[in-house]
Every structure is written in structure tokens, then in C-alpha cells.
Amino acid sequence: MAAIPDHDVVHGAEHAHDHHPTGLMRWLTTTNHKDIGTLYLWFSFIMFLTGGVMALTIRAELFQPGLQVVNPEFFNQLTTMHGLVMVFGAIMPAFVGFANWQIPMMIGAPDMAFARMNNWSFWLLPPAALLLITSFFAPGGAAAGGWTFYPPLSVQMGIGMDMMIFAIHILGASSIMGSINIITTILNMRAPGMTLMKMPLFVWTWLITAYLLVLVMPVLAGVVTMLLTDRNFGTNFFNAAGGGDPVLFQHVFWFFGHPEVYIMILPSFGIVSEVIPTFSRKPLFGYSSMVYATASIAILSCIVWAHHMFTAGMPVVGQLFFMYGTMLIAVPTGVKVFNWTATMWRGSMTFETPMLFSIGFIFLFVIGGFSGVVCAIVPIDVQVQDTYYVIAHFHYVLVSGSLFAIFAGAYYWLPKWTGHMYDETLGKWHFWLSMFFFNLTFFVQHFLGLAGMPRRIPDYALQFADFNMISSIGAFGFGTTQLLFLYVVLKCIRGGAKAPQKPWEGAKTLEWTLPSPAPYHSFETPPLVK
């Protein structure tokens, strides 16, 4: 006679099955920080390719003068969507993916503080992305006012604009929840003995970034809500005919928009501060000054917003305040660049792919920083406002800044995440091709801007033809190179050499996921390398 199964045993088996779903349900219901980090990273890469296709369509149109690929209105819709998809869909989710993967492991926490909220903050992203992209197919098409969607233009657009506003609300809610989660995890779940000043710098940069997000995301929500009521409910916040002021929109938007720029670069600083000590075989130079520099950058970023508005009719005193405030940010940024360089100084450096991307990041980010100081000078900014000089400036900060740091972090932690080593040769090809094509694309845009070529236009004078052709060739080369990165990652996930316990062998003096704060340094004595 067969034994009757014990009820509790069966119940326990069912219970276990409930908590370990497989396939699609695993990803939909996961509360594991590593799974959620992986979801963020894949989502961001898909959005990166989506935004990239939009950029390549723009560059195809600009390959030569005249209208050949898309009509002017669709061209403007592409510029709007390219900006929004890259900022909210590609760069920010990638950094949140890194935060999810690494922060609990770096501070010795079992998981993120709010595991279910963590799941929710990711699953808000795909519907928001869908709303953004399907607005192309709405009556009147997607919003065509640029990613800053200034009124009065944005008040007059079709339903695609409302879809965009709704998408921004959802993306903002996701960011705020993710930030609350990160702040709570870092402040409450560190391992015993890990004081704040012993945390890895990546954790510090994310703590500061999360506070910035909690501060400015509600501001963005507020301004798009005001825009929504202007469009649909008869309010006159930004309508001059009804007593409103379109420049008010710019002030509120840029109070969000400028800290947002630093939200996209501070985690990059954290990643680079992890990678460079590892491949220099030295602790990071000036740990505490790095922490204070990061915090001061974040604080200053909240008081310089109107440098985006020098041509919007501002009193001279205001222009001077925002000009000097903007230049002040160069000081803590310079401290960071000095410290990275000092870390490499007299180190036993090797140049694996993460290190190459980090050095590329420093070199090109400094160029972006210099052109930013140029844009901060009021009389110069009045000349280059809304030209390709500004485009070149912020792509040097966001592509060779944020994106290169994301690549550095991905290559650096892939062995940790997958258990396999990636193909080093292909990784180096990815770096050098990206470096070459990036500069081919964007360096010439400085010259276009200085010569007066305005941004967001599908047609241009014959004098700009040569540089535009060079820029478009570079863009297609850069876009194609990123498929190589996809291949490297997939190849690494599927197999390859097994990663050793400490993948970056030679970093023997450092625990590779927990770079310790720097001891006292003397430039006179070279560091000991085992």
C-alpha cells in the first residue's frame, strides 16, 4: 500500500515552488537585487540601441545639405525622443543597474532595503518607454520641441505630448523609489565596522546621486504637471496671454535639468574611482577629498541652473552669479581629475579594457569640462547658444563621460557577474573603435558650432557640408561598434575562460570589490607591489 504523503511535506514543497519561480515569472516577480540589476542593465542597453537608431537617422539626414531621409517635423520628433530615450532610458537605468548589483555586495548587505519596491521601480520602466516610443504613432506624432519641451511650442502640440508627460511622470516615480531604496540600504544596512568614510567610492557617489534624485525629480514632475494643466485644463502658468510666463518653465525645468546632468555623471566618477586603483595596483589617492568633492559638486549643481538661460533675458547681476557659480564647479571636478592622475602616478599600471575606458573617460571628460567652462562665459555663450558647439559639449560629457564609464564598469564587473572572463582582445577593439569614431563624430561639431550652425535643423548651408559628412560617418562607425560590445557580453555570459577568485590578478594588495580608503601617500616612495 502506498504511503500517504505527509501534508506538511507537500505543503512545504508547494511553498518552496512558490518562492522559486522559473522562466518569465522569475524575472517578473524577482526581489533579488542581482536579478533586478540585470534587468536594469538589459533594459538600458535596449533603450541605448533604440536611441542610437534615432541618432543615426538624424545623422543620415544631415549627411549632406537638403532634405533626403525624413521630413522636418519628423526630424524634430527624432531629436526630442533621442534625448529623452538616452537620458531616462539608457544612461540612468544603467547606473541604477550597477547600483543594484554592487551596492549590497560592497557594503555587506544581504539585499536592497525594500526588495518588492525595487522590483516595482524597475517594472515601471518598460510601460513608460512604450508610452514614449508609441507617441510617434499618435495623431500629430511625438513631441517636436526638443527634449526640454519648452512652451509655448509644447502647449500647442498633439496628444503625443501628453503621452510624453505621462511617461516622464512614470520614469520619475521609478527614479524616486529607486533612490529611496538606495539611501535606506546604504545608511541602514552596512556591515558592522563599515563607517561612512570606509565605504567604497562607488557607494558614496550613489548615495549623493540618490539624494539629488529625491530633490529634483519632484521638481520635474511639478513642471510637467503644470504643462499638462496648461494644455488640457485651461490654466495659464506658461501662457503670456493669460498672465503666465514661458520663462518660468525654463527656470523650473532647469532647476531639475542641471542637477540631472550631475546625476548622470556622479556614478561615473564612482566607477572610475573603483577601476583606476585596481589597475594601478595602488589605493585611491585622496579618498576623503574625493568624497567632499562629490558632495560639493552636487550642492553647486543646484545653484547654477540658469546658465542654460543666458539668452532668455536675465539681469547682468544674475548672469554674473550663474557664470561664476558654474566656473566654481571646475574646482571640485579638478580635484577629482588630479586624484585619479595621482593614483596612476608611479603605479604598476596595466591596460585591460576597464582601465582603457577609464583613462579614455578622464581624457575626454576633461575636454567636455573645458568646453563647459567656455559655455559658462556669458558673452561666448550668447554666441554659441543653440549651436552645435553646445551639442559637442554635452556629448563629450555624456557619451565619453557617462557611457564610457558604463562600459568600464561593465567590463570590470562582468567576471564577477557571470563567472566568466570576457574576450580581452575584442574588448580592446571595442574601446579603440569607440574612441576613434566618437571623436570623429563630435570633435568636428565644435567647429560647426563656432561657425554658427544651429542645432535641431534638418537642412543647412553648404559651408557646413564637409564637417557634417565627417560627423555622420563617425556616428555610423560608433553605432556599429556598439554591436561588438553586445557580442562580447553575450559571448562572456555563454561561457569563456572561468573567472578566477580575483579576476584582476595582480591587484593583490586590494580586495577588488572593496577598495579600501587610501592610506597616507608619499610621492617619493613607489608603492609596494607583490
Do 289 and 408 belong to one domain?
yes
Percent share of the chain, pLDDT over 70 = 92
pTM of the entire structure? 0.91
Q: Is the pLDDT of residue 444 over 70?
A: yes
The active-site residue, picked from 231, 281, 336, 446, is 336
* Stronger pLDDT, 1 or 450, i.e. the higher one: 450
Look at residue 16 and tell me if it is in a domain. no
Do 36 and 181 belong to one domain?
yes
* Stronger pLDDT, 249 or 514, i.e. the higher one: 249
The active-site residue, picked from 273, 353, 387, 402, is 273
- The pLDDT, as a whole number, for residue 375 is 94
Do 299 and 162 belong to one domain?
no
* Stronger pLDDT, 11 or 90, i.e. the higher one: 90
Look at residue 18 and tell me if it is in a domain. no
Do 297 and 177 belong to one domain?
no
The active-site residue, picked from 169, 190, 281, 308, is 308
The predicted-structure confidence for 5-45, as pLDDT tens digits, reads as follows 444 444 444 444 456 788 889 999 999 999 999 999 999 99
Look at residue 526 and tell me if it is in a domain. no
- The pLDDT, as a whole number, for residue 8 is 43
The active-site residue, picked from 154, 175, 326, 481, is 175
Do 274 and 228 belong to one domain?
no
Please say if 260 is a catalytic residue. yes
Q: Is the pLDDT of residue 266 over 80?
A: yes
Please say if 336 is a catalytic residue. yes
Do 382 and 498 belong to one domain?
yes
* 500-522 CB burial, b ≥16 within 10 A, e <16: eebbbeebeebebbbbebbeebe
The domain tally of the chain equals 2
The predicted-structure confidence for 420-439, as pLDDT tens digits, reads as follows 999 999 999 999 999 999 99
Q: Is the pLDDT of residue 203 over 90?
A: yes
Do 173 and 273 belong to one domain?
no
Average pLDDT for 238-263: 94
Please say if 11 is a catalytic residue. no
The active-site residue, picked from 258, 282, 393, 420, is 258
Hey, which residues does 401 pair with through a beta bridge? none
Please say if 121 is a catalytic residue. no
Interatomic CA distance for residues 475 and 422, integer angstroms? 26
Q: Is the pLDDT of residue 193 over 60?
A: yes
Do 73 and 150 belong to one domain?
yes
- Copy the grid coordinates of residue 367: 575636454
Interatomic CA distance for residues 22 and 311, integer angstroms? 56
The active-site residue, picked from 333, 353, 358, 481, is 333
Cβ–Cβ < 8 Å for 186, 207: yes
Look at residue 528 and tell me if it is in a domain. no
Please say if 111 is a catalytic residue. yes
* Residue in the block written with cell 513631441: 143
Hey, which residues does 420 pair with through a beta bridge? 498
The active-site residue, picked from 260, 352, 381, 423, is 260
**Mean pLDDT of all residues in the chain?**
90
The active-site residue, picked from 40, 101, 254, 262, is 262
Average pLDDT for 341-362: 95
Please say if 231 is a catalytic residue. no
Please say if 425 is a catalytic residue. no
The range of the structural domain enclosing residue 490 comes to 265-518
Look at residue 7 and tell me if it is in a domain. no
Q: Is the pLDDT of residue 343 over 80?
A: yes
Please say if 147 is a catalytic residue. yes
- The pLDDT, as a whole number, for residue 517 is 52
CATH classification at residue 204: 1.20.210.10
Look at residue 524 and tell me if it is in a domain. no
Look at residue 452 and tell me if it is in a domain. yes
Do 296 and 391 belong to one domain?
yes
CA-nearest of 443, 430, 403 to 492 is 430
Do 75 and 172 belong to one domain?
yes
The active-site residue, picked from 33, 59, 82, 281, is 82
From 255, 287, 320, the end of a domain falls on 255
Average pLDDT for 51-71: 94
Cβ–Cβ < 8 Å for 341, 350: no
- The pLDDT, as a whole number, for residue 497 is 86
- The pLDDT, as a whole number, for residue 21 is 81
The active-site residue, picked from 27, 120, 147, 150, is 147
Please say if 509 is a catalytic residue. no
Look at residue 530 and tell me if it is in a domain. no
The active-site residue, picked from 59, 307, 393, 395, is 307
- The C-alpha R_g of the chain, in whole angstroms, comes to 24
- Copy the grid coordinates of residue 433: 573603435
The predicted-structure confidence for 276-325, as pLDDT tens digits, reads as follows 999 999 999 999 999 999 999 999 999 999 999 999 999 999 999 999 99
From 222, 237, 255, the end of a domain falls on 255
Average pLDDT for 192-217: 95
Cβ–Cβ < 8 Å for 225, 173: no
- The pLDDT, as a whole number, for residue 505 is 67
Please say if 20 is a catalytic residue. no
The active-site residue, picked from 174, 185, 294, 402, is 174
From 231, 255, 279, the end of a domain falls on 255
Please say if 34 is a catalytic residue. no
- Residue 522: which pLDDT band, with cuts at 50, 70 and 90? very low
Cβ–Cβ < 8 Å for 208, 253: no
Do 180 and 269 belong to one domain?
no
Please say if 82 is a catalytic residue. yes
* Residue in the block written with cell 500517504: 4
Do 302 and 230 belong to one domain?
no
The backbone region for 213, taken as left when phi is positive above 0, alpha when psi lies in -120 to 50, beta otherwise, is alpha
Angle at 424 between CA 419 and CA 425, to 5 degrees: 150
- Residue 221: which pLDDT band, with cuts at 50, 70 and 90? very high
Cβ–Cβ < 8 Å for 388, 471: no
